Structure 1
Amino acid sequence: MRTLCSSTLIGEFFVIGFAGLVAMKDEDLSTSTVWTVCGIAMFLSLVLCGLVTRPGGVVLGWALQIALIASGFVVPAMFFLGVVFAALWWASVHFGRKVDEAKARFAAQAGSSGADAA
C-alpha cells in the first residue's frame, strides 16, 4: 500500500505546486498567502508518504484529498484534479491493501512449505 499511496501523494505534490503558480495570477491573493498555503500542503503530501502505513495516515490522506478538492474555489481546475486524485487515492488504498494481503498470504505459504521441507 505504501508504494501506491506514496506515488499518488508525490503526484499531488507537483499538482499543488502548479496550482500555486496558477493562483498567483489572482490579484485578490497575495503571493505570500498562496505560497504559505501551497507550501504547507506540499509539505504535508511529502510527510504523508512516510505516515501512510501508520495509524491515521490514510485518514490524513483523505483530509488532504478534501482540501485539494476545496482548493477548486480558488483555482477552478482543482475541482476536477481534486476528484481525480481522490479517486487515485481510493484506488491506491484499496488495491494497496489487497496487494499487502496477497504478499502476507504468499509469505505465510512460503514459510509453511519451507518448514515442511525441513
Structure 2
Amino acid sequence: MRILGSAVLVMEFFVMGFAMLLAKDNHEPSTIIAGAIIAILMLLTPGLLKKRTGWILGSILQFLMIGYAVVVPSMAIVGLLFGGLWIAAIVVGRRGEAIRAELMASRTPNP
C-alpha cells in the first residue's frame, strides 16, 4: 500500500513541476508559490504513509492537485487520472495487506 501510494505522490511531484512551468508566464507569482507548496508536500508525504495521517494528507493533496486546474486547465484531467491511481493504491494495497496477513498466519507452525 505504501509503495503504490509513494509512487503516485512522487510522480505527481514531477507533474506539478511541469504545471508550474506552464503557469509561470501567464499567472501571478502567488499561483506559482501555491503550486510549489503542493509539489513539496507531495514529495514529503511518502515518508508519512506509515501512519493514517499520511494517507489523509495524501488525499487532501489529490484535491489540491485537481484544484490547480484553475491555474492550468489541463491539470483537471491529469488530476483525475492521478486521483484514480491514488484510490487504486488504497484499494489494491489493502487487499494485498489482507492477503499477506493470511499467508503469514498460515505459515505459523502448529505445536
Q: Which runs of 5+ in 1 are unaligned?
A: none
Offset from partner CA, 1:1-36 (integer Å, 9 cap, x none): 00010010011010000000000121x413xx3442
- More deviation, 67-76/44-53: 44-53
Letter in 2 for 1:63: I
Please say if 1:37 is aligned against 2:34: yes
Counterpart of 1:85? 82
1:110 deviates by 1.0
Offset from partner CA, 1:28-59 (integer Å, 9 cap, x none): 413xx344222211221122101123022222
Please say if 1:46 is aligned against 2:33: no
TM-score (norm 2): 0.92
Q: Which runs of 5+ in 2 are unaligned?
A: none
Letter in 2 for 1:74: V
Instruction: Report the CA distance shift for 1:72/1:13 in structure 2 as closer, same or farther (over 3 A).
Output: same
Please say if 1:4 is aligned against 2:4: yes
Q: How many aligned positions are there?
A: 111
- Equivalent-residue separation in structure 2 for 1:60 and 1:89 (angstroms): 12
Please say if 1:25 is aligned against 2:25: yes
Please say if 1:110 is aligned against 2:99: no
Runs of 4+ in structure 1 off by over 4 angstroms are none
Sequence identity, in percent?
34
TM-score (norm 1): 0.87
Letter in 1 for 2:40: F
- Equivalent-residue separation in structure 2 for 1:53 and 1:63 (angstroms): 16
Residue aligned with 1:56, SS:
helix
Please say if 1:98 is aligned against 2:81: no
- More deviation, 100-109/36-45: 36-45
Residue aligned with 1:25, SS:
coil
Asked if 1 retains the 8 angstrom alpha-carbon contact of 2:31 and 2:71, the reply is no
- Equivalent-residue separation in structure 2 for 1:64 and 1:11 (angstroms): 13
